[in-house]
Amino acid sequence: MKALLATKIGMTQIFDDEGRLQPVTVLQAGPCVITQLKTAENDGYTAAQIGYGEAKKPGKAILGHLKPAGTQSRHLVEVRTEGDEELKVGDTLAADLFETGDAVQVTGVSKGKGFAGTIKRHNFHRGPKTHGSHNYRAPGSIGAGYPQHVFKGIKMAGHMGHERVTVKNLKIALVDAEQNLIAVKGAVPGPNKGLVLIRGAQA
């Protein structure tokens, strides 16, 4: 099982082995603790729940849940497993779980843009600014004369961003096991200090 919770630190640049400059995103990956194991016999599927960070004031219910793992994790995420891994509650997962060159996919919550118009949200074209036209950034027609209602799914202005996004086929450019840092080539979703989930690329 290759999965880690991480905090996005920010972007920078590094040189690869061939001397080319690469844009990378630096992630504070782990250490994570396995807090629960799901089995096919008890739960109908196999998975591992991993915890990350430390909660300041955890409730009694979450403390009881995390007691077997000996941790007070702030974030909990469940990751599906094959069922044949040798995992135990309380095991620690660190950045050395991945190696340089590994293909990964990163999941996070994208930056929120608030209420956005159709040009920014859906890449609509604006109208002409000549010959007396007032249709500069208006959305235009939203339906026909019949039937007399707007169909579901019509692209309109509305809330943009702040949604779960997964970026696939990213490559790990650098792993610092001592400081639990992972540098991923390219950009990952979310703001700095945001929580992301790194998983091995699925076939």
Reduced 3-state DSSP string for 101-165: CCEEEEEEECCEEEEECHHHHHCCCCCCCCCCCCCCCCCCCCCCCCCCCCCCCCCCCEEEECCEE
26 C-beta neighbours (distance < 10 Å), count? 22
Per-residue pLDDT of the chain (203 residues; tens, 9 = 90+): 789 999 999 999 999 888 899 999 999 987 899 998 888 888 888 898 999 988 888 889 988 988 888 888 889 999 888 876 788 888 888 888 898 888 999 999 999 999 999 999 999 999 999 999 998 999 999 998 899 999 999 999 999 999 999 999 999 999 998 999 999 999 999 999 999 999 988 64
The per-residue pLDDT for 71 is 85
Judge contact between 148 and 142, C-beta under 8 A: no
The per-residue pLDDT for 114 is 96
pTM listed for this prediction: 0.84
Q: Strands 164-176 and 103-109, how do they pair?
A: antiparallel
The per-residue pLDDT for 82 is 83
Which residues have a Cβ under 8 Å from the Cβ of 180 and sit 6 or more positions away? 28, 29, 30, 31, 94, 95
The per-residue pLDDT for 202 is 67
List domains and CATH numbers for the chain.
3-115+164-200 (2.40.30.10), 116-161 (no CATH)
Of 95, 108, 104, 75, the C-alpha closest to 197 is: 108
89 C-beta neighbours (distance < 10 Å), count? 16
Which residues have a Cβ under 8 Å from the Cβ of 49 and sit 6 or more positions away? 34, 35, 36, 37, 38, 76, 77, 78, 79
